[in-house]
Each structure stands twice: as structure tokens, then as C-alpha cells.
Structure 1
Amino acid sequence: MLRQDEFLSLSKMNFGLSDEQSLVLDQVDRACKGIRPIEDKCYLQHRFNDRVGPAFGEAHLLGLPISKSFGDGQGADTVTYALAIERIGREGTGVRTFVSAHVSLGELTVQKWGSEEQKGRYLPRTTKGEKVMAFGLTEPAAGSDPSSLKTSFEESGGKFILSGQKTWISNGSIADLVIVFAYPRGKSDGMCAFLVERGSAGFSAKPIVNKMGLPTSDTGTIYLEKCEVAKENLLGPRGKGLSVAY
């Protein structure tokens, strides 16, 4: 427990923003104000707002917390990114969901767990908005409980073969690159994470329509029907998918 003098010392800490942080957040604010009229219209029409990605990409915000070494990464610190997400959320949960799924769940996971080759291959394009990311964890019978996932993989012909289904995935039907979690076939441990590209043999996705909420956000179901994934697209150490998921 903090002593009174320690608490008073903390209460006097300066949490003011630097000039650089303020400039970034001003940029976020301008992008948010620009997307507002479109978001309002899409919400009233109950349809996906397909301008969020391009608008934030043009504002150089799709790689905000990503290293400047990769494409349009801005190298923003955690506080700046958190404040940016807070500001984006004021424009609607649909807008914030796109950014969170693409950046927080997608890019940051690749930045933390990806090999240098994987980061160099994907992050330059995702930070520029050329590829949209999604996080494929939730399943019809498992929800978001990793221990109950049914999606499985086996190895054949020098590739991983994934079989299963993911649902209620934010950006699911529009994603070009999905982080997918699966267990070895017939096992309930040793989960692995994979970077699965749209266009891979056995990969398909469709949007979930008539939702009660998030009308301007894409939510999709992903089907993996003996989906072929290259060995180099294993994300993180083999058998450490649970750590990647969290």
C-alpha cells in the first residue's frame, strides 16, 4: 500500500504530452473529423463503411505503433497509441473496431511474434493499408476460448493444411491476411498460429449480415477447407500459439 507522501508524489506527476505526441493526435483528430459524415451515413444505412481504411491510410495512421523500419510505421509510443484509439472510438465502435483489429490484433502481433522475414514481407503493406488484417480466434462452438478450438492442422507436402471455421471475426470478410489459431490434428495441446493469406487454396470468407450492432464494421466467417499454408507462415514458435493469442 502506498504511503500518503508517495500517493501525493504520484498525483503531482506530469502526464502532459510532448509536442510530437500532440502533433500525432492532431492528425488523428483531423482524420476522425473527415470520416465522421461518412460514418453517420453508413450507420443510418446499416452498411459497412469502406472508407475507414483508405482514410486512415492516407493520414498515415494504419501503422501508428509499428516501427518506422516497416513501410508507413510511425513508431508511436503506447500512450500516444492508446489516446489515438480513444479518440477514434468517439467516431463510433465500427471505426474503432476496424483499426483495433487491423493494428492492435493484427500488426502488433506480427511485430511481436513474427520473424524478420515475415515482418519485412507483410508490415510494409499493412501499414500503408494495401493489405487488411484480421485475428482469427473465435469459433462457432468455442467462442474466444482458445482451449476449446476445433480448427486443426496437419503437415503434407511441405505445407501446413488447416481445416476449420472462424466466425464473428472483425474485418473477417475483407481481410487479406488473417492470423489463424489451430491445434495439431487429433490433439488438444500444441496450438500454433499461422499467417493465412486470402487467395490461399482452401480459404474463403463471407460477411455476417443483419447484425444487431456494429453495422459499419465488417464481421465475417472464415472457412478453412484443407487450406494450404506455407511452412514459413508459421507465426511464433511451434506449439506456442496460446502465447501468441494472448
Structure 2
Amino acid sequence: MSTRRRPPAPDPLDFLSVDSSLSPEETDVRDTVRAFCRRELLPDIADWFEAGTIPDPRGLARAVGGLGLFGMHLEGYGCAGTSAVAYGLACRELEAVDSGLRSFVSVQGSLAMAAIHMYGSEEQKTRWLPPMAAGELIGCFGLTEPDSGSDPGSMRTRARRDGPDWVLDGTKTWITNGSIADAAVVWAATDDGVRGFVVPAGTPGFTANVIHRKLSLRASVTSELVLDGVRLPESARLPLAEGLGAPLSCLNEARYGILWGAVGAARACYEAALSYAATREQFGRPIAAFQLTQRKLAEMVVDVNHASLTALHLGRLKDAGACHHNQVSFGKFSNVAAAQRVAAKARSLHGANGITLEYPVLRHMLNLETVATYEGTEEIHMLSVGQAVTGVSAFR
């Protein structure tokens, strides 16, 4: 009579063994990015957050480019051409350090580079993508405006024809990397609908102003772009970008990275809380021994693992060419909400220590306030899912 071998006890840091289904190549990406983040970024991130900036963004860009992370899911032009899951894993490990660092990478790759890759001319791709992939040039993505956030179709930035050229006027805001970018992908309304343009930094009439006094995503450069009579040749227009669907498709790429990144933030908060609960003693024993603490930790590990499974499943669908944008909305909404719940419980378990930068939990908690808003608020994604399940649009 044979005896059944008992399965090993769950790993507290990967309770459902989600990572066991990764391929060797995906595991290599995970381990390489995790090691880089913990070695080069984690020791300084609290100081960068407190200072409200990235002190050497170009040095960081070169280091990230050296790992091949910029536009890593794109094909050709110096891009790595990895799977969607591999790209998601990179986003997860970056955001486990800080949302601002993941945003630095995903804005470059999934917004600026992806826009040029999908909608640019061969000349534009050859000019911009290889140096951006290498981290030698930095890009940004100008869509959001002071009065046009969730409704980008109401944008006031205009591009008008003047002879063979285009002249752009308007303002974009909340633009990650804006004031350090070498080029901005800017979206503007024209007489024929929304069009995209690559605006090199230094173009007369184009200025980028840093937004200060942020309480969230502080280890990130956020800017306002002002276009005052910016004159561009026809060759600056993205020739294949016609209509609002073009920038929205880029946003969908960024949202995919966010739903993975939120898993990293949640995991970091859970791991910090688990470690703290095991070492913090009250009433003569570790607080991990108390029932209410264990309930919080159990709820946290469930949220982290549910979010991990959602991200991995959507990544597999995306690699199969079967991931619909409504499903990305599902992942962005559900995973960010899960990360916010985990961060709040982790801050509670840390007590007064939880409000300091000695521990990562409040930093992640504050960052997630931005993550919940950008690339579509939770309301927008709820309505996207609602439209998908009812067949009725509630947007207009």
C-alpha cells in the first residue's frame, strides 16, 4: 500500500505558488530585476521620496536601459521583445520598491515608445526608439490636461495647419518625466480629429515646468507641458495615429503594467507587516500571536495572491493575443484596490512606526492614491467593466 506524500507547507511569501508557473526565461527576468532593484534602488528610495525627486534621472535611465527594461515588450529598434508576462514581472519588481520608479519605466516604454512604435513612421521609429530603449533619451506622454482628465476627448490643446507645418497650442498636466524628457508625445485636437505629434525638447514655444508639493509619487518627476505656438513639420506627426483610439490604446498598455505593479506594492507592504508582526512584542509576546493581527495578515495574503493570479492570467491572455481592454480595466481596478487594502492594514499593524520612512508602508499607501487615479480612475474602470457586462455605456 503506497503512502501519499504530503505537499509542502505554503510559502508565506508566495502562498499559492503563483511564481511556480513561470517559465525559466520569466524567472530570469524576475530575478534580474529584483536583484537590481534591491541593490541599486531600495537603499535610497526613502531619501528620494523625502526629497521629492529622482536625483539623477539620466543615470537611472542609462542603468534601466542597460537592463533592457525600456520598451522591453516591443519588437525591434533596440527593444528586447519579451513576453507580456516578463514585462509585467519587471513592473512588479520595480513597484515593490516604489510606484514612482515603475512609472518612470512604464511611461517611457508603454506610453512614449509604444506610441511611436505603433503609430510612428519608419523615420520616427529609427530616430527615437533605439536611444530611448538604451536609456540615452527620455520620453514623456502628453494627454491629460487641467480640464480634461477622465474625458480626454474634451481636450483643448489644438493643432492647426499653417502651410506645410503644424502649430500646437495648449497645456498638458500631470506628465511623468515631462521636464526631463528629450521628446514628448503630445496629443492634440485638429479639424480632422485627435492626432499625435513628437515634440523634441527645446522646440521654440515648448516649456515643461516641474509640479512641486506632491504628497504622493514623490520619487518621480511630474510636470506641466505648455505649448505656445509650437511649430512642427509634418514629419513630427505620428502618421498612423488617427482619432482618440490611438492614445487610448497606449493607455491600455500602461494600465497593463500598472496592474502588475500594484502587486509589487501590495507584496512589499505585506512582507513588511509580516516581518514587523513577528518581531514587535507587546504583552510579552510578538503581535503576530494575536488573533486580530493574524486576521489582518490572512486578509493581506489573500489580496496579494488574488492580485498575483489576476496579473498572471491577464498576462497569459495578452501573450496569446486574447486580452480585451475591458479585462485590463478589471485588473487595474481590482489589483489597485487590493493593494490599497493591503497597504492600509500594513500601516495599521506598524502602529506609529508605520508613518515613518523607516518602513515602506505609508510611502506605498500614499503612492497608491496616485496609482488609483492615473491611467483611468477607479470609477472609469468600473464603468468599463459595467459596460462590458451589460452592453450599455454609462459614459455619455
| TM bucket normalised to smaller | 0.7 to 0.9
Supply the AA of the counterpart residue of 2:77.
F
1:32 corresponds to: 37
2:296 corresponds to: none
Q: Give the 5 Å matches for 1:1-246.
A: 16-33=21-38, 34-51=40-57, 52-67=60-75, 69-71=76-78, 73-184=79-190, 187=191, 190-237=193-240, 240-246=242-248
Q: Distance in 2 between matches of 1:90 and 1:49?
A: 20
Asked if the contact 1:180–1:194 (Cα under 8 Å) also holds between the matched residues in 2, the reply is yes
Asked if the contact 2:207–2:227 (Cα under 8 Å) also holds between the matched residues in 1, the reply is yes
Aligned-residue Cα RMSD (Å) equals 2.0
From the two aligned structures, give the one with the greater strand fraction.
Answer: 1
Identity, % of aligned pairs? 36
Name the stretch that deviates more: 26-35 or 129-138: 26-35
Q: Distance in 2 between matches of 1:231 and 1:86?
A: 38
2:8 corresponds to: none
**Bigger radius of gyration, 1 or 2?**
2
Q: Displacement of 1:196 after TM fit?
A: 1.0
Q: Distance in 2 between matches of 1:44 and 1:64?
A: 30
Asked if the contact 1:98–1:170 (Cα under 8 Å) also holds between the matched residues in 2, the reply is yes
1:8 corresponds to: none
From the two aligned structures, give the one with the greater helix fraction.
Answer: 2
Q: Distance in 1 between matches of 2:49 and 2:91?
A: 20
Name the stretch that deviates more: 41-50 or 97-106: 41-50
Alpha-carbon distance change, 31 to 236 in structure 1, aligned in 2, over 3 angstroms: farther
Name the stretch that deviates more: 49-58 or 210-219: 49-58
- TM-score normalised according to structure 2 size: 0.55
Q: Distance in 2 between matches of 1:91 and 1:16?
A: 23
Equivalent pairs counted in the alignment come to 228
Asked if the contact 2:104–2:176 (Cα under 8 Å) also holds between the matched residues in 1, the reply is yes
The runs of 5 or more residues in structure 2 that have no matched partner are 1-18, 249-396
Name the stretch that deviates more: 52-61 or 88-97: 52-61
Q: Distance in 2 between matches of 1:77 and 1:218?
A: 28
Q: Deviations over 1:201-235 (max 9, x none)?
A: 21111100111211110100001011012211211
Q: Deviations over 1:151-203 (max 9, x none)?
A: 0011124211100110111111111111111112xx5x611111111111211
Q: Deviations over 1:37-56 (max 9, x none)?
A: 12222113333343432331
Asked if the contact 2:69–2:90 (Cα under 8 Å) also holds between the matched residues in 1, the reply is no
Q: Distance in 2 between matches of 1:144 and 1:172?
A: 20
Supply the AA of the counterpart residue of 1:245.
P
